[in-house]
Amino acid sequence: MTGSAAKAPHRDNAPRLRVVVETISYVNEMVSEGAAGQREFEVEARQGDTVYDILRRFSSLHPHLNEALWDPETGGIGPHIEIIFNDTILGVRDSEETLVQDNDRIVLTGQYVGG
Amino acid sequence: MRTSEGPAESPGRAAVAGGFAGRILRVDLTAGRIWTERPSEREYREYLGGVGIGAKILYEEVPPEVGWDHPENRLVLATGVLAGLPVWGSGGLTVVTRGAMTNGATSSQANGFFGTSLKYSGYDAIVLQGRAPHWVYLFVHNDTVELRDAKHLLGKDTWETQDALHAELGFKGHQLSVYTAGIAGENRVRFAAIHGDYGHVASKNGCGAVLGSKNVKAIAIVRGDRALPVADARGLFTVADTISHDLRTNPTTQALYKLGTLPGVSNLSKIGVLPIRNYTTNQWPEGVDKAPWEGQALRDGFDHRGHQCNACGMRHCQQVVLGKGEHQGAIVDEPEYEGWSCGWTMGVTNPTDMAWLNTQLDRAVVDLNEFGWLMGWVIECYEKGYLTRQQLDGIEPTWGDVKAAHALLQKLIRREGWIGNLLAEGVKRASEQIGGPAAECAVYTLKGAQPRGHDHRGRWEEMLDTCVSSTGTLESGQSVEPGELGLPARFNPVGGDDVAKIVAGMLGRRHFEDSLGTCIFTTRTTLKNLCLAVSAATGWDYSVDEAMRFGRRTACLLRAFNLRCGIGPELEKPSKRYGSTPVDGPLKGVAVADQWESMVASWYERVGYDRTSGRPKADLLRSLGLEKVAQDLWG
């Protein structure tokens, strides 16, 4: 299910883009709508936004996720949430500074603890 | 017939630091002699327990000419300072030996209640040496330690062995902890493991084959009644509470607390590191519903009951009832992620089928990672015509065919026929024996170990760790609280230098954890918390620096042992298939081979080992108090 667009600050007048954030596994529980089964969220984006901007915008609406996602000391992405950008772990081909394109997809999942 | 010679020491606890039982139980199986040793407090502080004490014994007592199946090989079953104490998951066992897969050092862990029972009986470790003249089991209950006839237990699987000893000895539930290598161990299957307490397995490097080579069918430990004093009980309860709070609330461990490792299949499939069909693809199979493979669905898909280890509040370990299928009604151990992924390497996409097979592997008992790679190889080879129906005794394995896998399991654990004997040697040796193109589809390390159930071509940190390890499995382990060691919270999993930095930086932490007698899941907290627990138990002022120094020293001892056994840096590589480039999925085209040499070189530089010879450098050894090892290696 795709939810309504999240309202957050964005670049005025730049062309709009459609970016989807999907939450899976226990990250779904960190997102308030997740309890109702919603897993995909369309986040309002504009040309010039980076992956970092999208993550900040989305997590600002979900306090539990916001706390888990960011490293309080560095302000960067912390160790608890794995971020997949267009099917590849963020950092492999792209970074937080990558400019998003129309129909880009970000998946947030838990860090794997093996055994 | 019983050989009964209780420990030669007087009863009572040695005057050592709190938390320790104060005695090491030594058993010479050849002579039938049993005695105890009482390490000094200095020795306990220097070697702690678990892999620490095991590494010391291996290095000092197993010379290079003593191979894994030589009677004079040592099999150390050790627990640690926190075992039996009110810390979550404190029933741990570490097995240290010269193992059958690599013919080098092994450090493998299991949980359950072994560690607790052993400590309450008054021992911190058991060291087996020699070979019993006939099959025996070791019985331990306080000062009663006996080698008892085990002929009536031969041919029983691990669960049957535990059932039989419970009935024979008149104990119930967790009063008795039984660890055995099953039928696979009896037949010295190279990847036989040691299983106990209905679901806990020390699986690596053929440690079960070593137990079997000593003609020991099982170790049965009654939960003793010795007191286990600690230095600061209030402090211990406080830090135990802090650790359990961390595990329940930390975003990384929350899922582990609730669901164990069940979320692994869906998580790893998303990032392209689920090992599907022997590394031949990274695409989720078409037509296979993903929903039943979500963590919560795997838990809810079975009728389940908690099966926690000693003092553990996690909701991780469960026993489940199969609700449908051919084995409906069977009680099995809920698979870990590694159990599920074992199935995925063979193409098994039905959770009920794999839940059943996972427990058959435990009953056998073999390392399920190795079994998965072996079956994946067999299926692929049969599909491509490298193995024939005749060679497989009429079995025609296909992807996802659990019945065929089970049939082959039954042959290999008994070394039945040509195929049983071939497969019992593990995938590296089996593929080398077949040769030709079959040799190119097997997943293993050149040392003879195997990766766990992940596609490491997308997790280079684990491929590097597995290949350079001195333990027959991951040695640094996963990055836990990296900031505490000055390491970055995130890194590029396919960036060679990033990966080398993490693996090198974490080296030592796992050895410290594996010396405490606890579970790696319940130690997913800060080193500071773990050191507070050690300090409260012992009365020492135990710091993070001391913990990591201990860990690095243990790593050096194990590496020195392996080098002495002829296991050198030339073997620190993946097999052709293991180190291949993914052909599809999120990491298509990402080639570890392009960066392998530079990544390994970077690791060597960071850990302070000599790249050419593989030796820890002399000044490093001396700084860790290993003067004798420095002399042995460098002259």
Count of other CB atoms within 10 angstroms of residue B388: 10
CA of B524: which chain A residue's CA is closest? A113
Asked if A114 and B337 come within 8 Å (Cβ–Cβ), the reply is yes
Between vectors from CA A92 to CA A87 and to CA A94, what angle results, nearest 5°?
A: 75
CA of B585: which chain A residue's CA is closest? A87
B580: closest CA of chain A, how far (Å): 18
Any B CB within 8 A of A87 CB: yes
Asked if A77 and B295 come within 8 Å (Cβ–Cβ), the reply is no
Measured between beta carbons, the chain A residues lying within 8 angstroms of B587 are 88, 92
Asked if B255 and A82 come within 8 Å (Cβ–Cβ), the reply is no
Any A CB within 8 A of B513 CB: no
Measured between beta carbons, the chain A residues lying within 8 angstroms of B493 are 89, 91-92
CA of B269: which chain A residue's CA is closest? A87
Task: Find the CB nearest B263 among A26, A68, A76.
Answer: A26
What are the helix and strand counts (H, E) for chain B?
24, 16
Report which residue type is found at B117.
S
In angstroms, what CA-CA distances link B291 with A72, A83, A107, B349? 34, 21, 17, 12
Provide the token pair at B332: 């099995």
Report the alpha-carbon distance of residue B451 to residue B474 in Å, rounded. 8
A3: closest CA of chain B, how far (Å): 20
CA of A114: which chain B residue's CA is closest? B261
Task: Find the CB nearest B254 among A26, A74, A77.
Answer: A26
Q: Would the pTM of this model clear 0.90, i.e. be above it?
A: yes
Any A CB within 8 A of B158 CB: no
Dihedral angle over CA of B82, B248, B459, B617, nearest 10:
-30
Q: Are A57 and A8 in contact (CB under 8 A)?
A: yes
Any A CB within 8 A of B254 CB: yes
Any A CB within 8 A of B559 CB: no
Report the alpha-carbon distance of residue B394 to residue B390 in Å, rounded. 6
Q: Are B537 and B231 in contact (CB under 8 A)?
A: yes
Provide the token pair at B92: 């741990």
Q: Are B535 and B85 in contact (CB under 8 A)?
A: no
Q: Are B263 and B290 in contact (CB under 8 A)?
A: no
Report the alpha-carbon distance of residue B419 to residue B368 in Å, rounded. 18
Any A CB within 8 A of B263 CB: yes
B95: closest CA of chain A, how far (Å): 17
Count of other CB atoms within 10 angstroms of residue B539: 16
Stretches where chain B sits below pLDDT 50 are 1-10
User: Most B CBs within 10 Å: which of A81, A105, A113, as the mutation test of the B interface?
Assistant: A113
CA of A81: which chain B residue's CA is closest? B252
Report which residue type is found at B351.
P
Between vectors from CA A57 to CA A51 and to CA A63, what angle results, nearest 5°?
A: 125
Note the helical H segments in B518-625.
Answer: 527-538, 544-564, 596-607, 618-623
CA of A23: which chain B residue's CA is closest? B267
Measured between beta carbons, the chain A residues lying within 8 angstroms of B518 are none
Q: Which of B113, B117, B139, B74 is nearest to B196 (CA)?
A: B113
Between vectors from CA B235 to CA B78 and to CA B227, what angle results, nearest 5°?
A: 50
| Half-sphere exposure in the Cβ direction for B304 (13 Å, CA) | 20
Asked if B267 and A25 come within 8 Å (Cβ–Cβ), the reply is yes
B12 CB-near residues (< 8 Å, 6+ apart): none
Report the alpha-carbon distance of residue B7 to residue B142 in Å, rounded. 10
Q: Name the 3-class secondary structure at B221.
A: strand
Q: Are B236 and B85 in contact (CB under 8 A)?
A: yes
B587: closest CA of chain A, how far (Å): 7
Provide the token pair at B562: 């392996």
Which secondary-structure segment (H or E) carries B407? helix B402-413
Strands B216-222 vs B136-141: parallel, antiparallel or unpaired? parallel
Task: Find the CB nearest A89 among B259, B337, B493.
Answer: B493
CA of B249: which chain A residue's CA is closest? A68
Q: Which of B520, B502, B609, B496 is nearest to B558 (CA)?
A: B609
Any A CB within 8 A of B482 CB: yes
Report the alpha-carbon distance of residue B461 to residue B595 in Å, rounded. 12
Predicted pLDDT of residue A28: 84
What are the helix and strand counts (H, E) for chain A?
2, 5
Any B CB within 8 A of A68 CB: yes
Report the alpha-carbon distance of residue B148 to residue B587 in Å, rounded. 54
Any A CB within 8 A of B106 CB: no
Which secondary-structure segment (H or E) carries B477? none
Any A CB within 8 A of B272 CB: yes
| Half-sphere exposure in the Cβ direction for A94 (13 Å, CA) | 21
Report the alpha-carbon distance of residue B411 to residue B415 in Å, rounded. 6
Any A CB within 8 A of B54 CB: no
Predicted pLDDT of residue B489: 87
Any B CB within 8 A of A61 CB: no
Report the alpha-carbon distance of residue B343 to residue B288 in Å, rounded. 14
Task: Find the CB nearest A68 among B251, B454, B520.
Answer: B251
Q: Which of B188, B192, B199, B196 is nearest to B219 (CA)?
A: B196
3-state helix, strand, coil in chain B (%, to 5): 45, 15, 45
User: First-to-last CA distance in chain A?
Assistant: 32
Q: Are B136 and B148 in contact (CB under 8 A)?
A: yes
Report which residue type is found at B233.
A
Report the alpha-carbon distance of residue B352 to residue B326 in Å, rounded. 10
Predicted pLDDT of residue B602: 98
Predicted pLDDT of residue B3: 42
Measured between beta carbons, the chain A residues lying within 8 angstroms of B266 are 24-25, 109
Count of other CB atoms within 10 angstroms of residue B87: 29
Dihedral angle over CA of A35, A40, A43, A45, nearest 10:
170
Q: Which of B155, B130, B133 is nearest to B1 (CA)?
A: B133
DSSP state of A96: T
Q: Are B217 and B150 in contact (CB under 8 A)?
A: yes
User: First-to-last CA distance in chain B?
Assistant: 50
- Angle (deg, nearest 10), helices B496-506 and B596-607: 30
User: Which residue, chain included where needed, has tokens 């667009």?
Assistant: A5
Using only C-alpha atoms, chain A has a radius of gyration, in whole angstroms, of: 13
Provide the token pair at B506: 């974490």
Tens-place pLDDT, residues A3-57: 333 444 556 788 999 999 999 877 888 886 655 566 899 998 999 999 999 999 9
User: Which residue, chain included where needed, has tokens 């926190």?
Assistant: B82
Q: Are B77 and B208 in contact (CB under 8 A)?
A: no
Provide the token pair at B632: 């042995």
If you write DSSP's letter for every residue of B239-277 in order, what string do you get?
A: HHHHHHHHHHHSHHHHHHHHHTTTTHHHHHHHTT-S-BT
Any B CB within 8 A of A107 CB: yes
Provide the token pair at A57: 């915008």
Q: Which of B66, B130, B127 is nearest to B98 (CA)?
A: B66
Any B CB within 8 A of A74 CB: yes
Count of other CB atoms within 10 angstroms of residue B611: 13
Strands, E assignment, B33-80: 33-37, 75-78
Any B CB within 8 A of A35 CB: no
Measured between beta carbons, the chain A residues lying within 8 angstroms of B590 are 92
User: Which residue, chain included where needed, has tokens 């009863």?
Assistant: B11
B530 CB-near residues (< 8 Å, 6+ apart): B243, B512, B513, B516, B523, B547
Q: Name the 3-class secondary structure at B592.
A: helix
